[in-house]
Amino acid sequence: KERKEMFEDYKAFKEKVGVDDVASYLGYKLDRKAGIGKYVEYNLRDGRGRKTDSIVISHPNDKSSQTYFHRNEASGGDAISLIRENISSFGVTGSSETDMLRAVMSKLTSDDSFVTKSEDRYNELKPQTFDIARFQMESAAEHFNAVMSFFRGRSIDEETVGTFLPFIMRVTDTEAQYKYKDLAFPYTRPGSEKIEGFELRGYNNFRQKAPGTNSSSAAWIADFTEEQPDNTRNVYFFESGYDAMAFYQVNKSRLCLETSVFVSTGGTFSSQQVKGITDYYPQARYWDCFDNDMPGILYGIRMEALLSGQFINIITTDDTIIFQKGADEVRLPKGEVTLNKVREKLGMDRHVYVWKAPKAFKDWNDVTMNRPMKDLPVKTKYQRNENLREKRRKSTV
């Protein structure tokens, strides 16, 4: 019954709001030079006027039938799909994606009937700017045992958590219906201590950004260089704070912590977000440590194109991805797409280095948990070493 009601609500919403309306809200502009016919093209540009994304929309005169696809990402769909991709950009909150979707639908149509009375962690589903005053913040160091409860299930050890303590905290949203104490990865701009949002993690796999979090120019930045950007040698980019900490735990013997910076974009990134960080750390190497799935691979390619100052169209078919740079075009089977291969075939200079999790794993946190993408008895070198250390420890007890 609930599924049927949601389907009917989606249908009613799409009769009022098309993909073009959602795109316009997100800042995309119609590209009239691309032509206006059965399809139209909308472009997104950064503050310097450089194109950062392009979507092609079908049925421009029939909102309920409109669909789209990205030229620079492996995704597409209808108006609901575009909202899902950018759910954090609408300034709404909720305990589930469905609640957040309903809040966006209500916002874009001014129709409160889309918002349900269902149980929610937040009382209000309204557009908001980040307000740090609504959060009760606690030092992670002062509540170390409580904070460790978030990490143990992730197989992230006390030594690693101790290393990252200055960059994490425990917070309570005082305006939420339920006053949970969540783990928080604070978002700041490079070189600034002003908190502009949180990447929140909680119990029962709760994952969300705090209402109004600045994901355009801020990120979680764990800078171990003592605020000396010119001394930074390596900046590692991840999709979550958990992944960054797991990466450190697995590879710490190969890292120089004093010249390293770890960044979480919380998923997809904005051009301003990445450029702000790379401009602040001009002498560093930039590392693609994003996930091993197709979106994560394409994040690295997008990042390379951004730092190269070039625009790459990325078109996805059922089994092939097409990369277009000017007059050059490369077609690769999905299973063969890597940043290094695309860069080589398009003749691009290297600005981004790759250090992803082993191929059997989606991300670095899955490595510490020994949770491969396929249900295979895979043991990483890290896991084997951990098991050996545990056996030696038991033999000495």
Q: Which residues contact 370 (CB under 8 A, 6 or more apart)?
A: 155, 378, 379, 380, 383
Closest CA to 80 of 91, 66, 70: 66
Angle of helix 97-109 relative to helix 2-16, nearest 10 degrees? 30
Residues 268/272/277/282 CA torsion (nearest 10 deg): 130
CB atoms within 10 A of CB 212: 19
d(CA 166, CA 215): 21
Is the model's pTM score more than 0.75?
no
Token pair in block for residue 387: 């098991």
Angle of helix 294-308 relative to helix 339-346, nearest 10 degrees? 40
Return the pLDDT at 396. 53
In angstroms, the Cα distances linking 221 to 29, 125, 166, 325, 336 are 31, 28, 11, 31, 31
In degrees, rounded to 5, the angle at the alpha carbon of residue 220 between the alpha carbons of residues 215 and 225 is: 135
d(CA 234, CA 228): 13
Torsion 278-46-21-122 (CA) sign: positive
d(CA 313, CA 334): 16
Instruction: At 71, give phi and psi (nearest 5°).
Output: -85, -20
- Helical segments of 328-397, H only: 339-346, 364-368, 381-396
d(CA 225, CA 259): 5
On whether the CB atoms of residues 124 and 187 are closer than 8 A, the answer is no
On whether the CB atoms of residues 105 and 112 are closer than 8 A, the answer is no
What is the residue-level pLDDT of the chain in tens, covering all 397 positions?
A: 356 677 788 888 998 899 999 998 888 899 988 888 889 999 988 777 888 889 999 999 899 999 998 886 656 789 998 998 888 777 766 666 777 888 888 888 766 666 543 334 333 434 468 999 999 999 999 999 999 999 999 999 999 999 999 999 999 999 887 788 999 999 999 999 999 999 999 887 788 899 899 988 999 999 999 889 999 999 999 999 999 999 999 999 999 999 999 999 998 888 889 999 999 999 999 999 999 998 899 999 999 999 998 888 888 777 888 998 888 899 999 899 999 999 999 999 999 999 999 999 999 999 999 999 864 444 556 666 666 666 666 555 4
Token pair in block for residue 12: 């009613």
Q: Where do the DSSP E strands lie in the chain? A: 29-30, 39-45, 51-58, 68-70, 76-77, 135-139, 169-173, 181-188, 198-201, 207-209, 219-223, 234-238, 260-264, 285-288, 313-316, 320-325, 328-333, 352-354
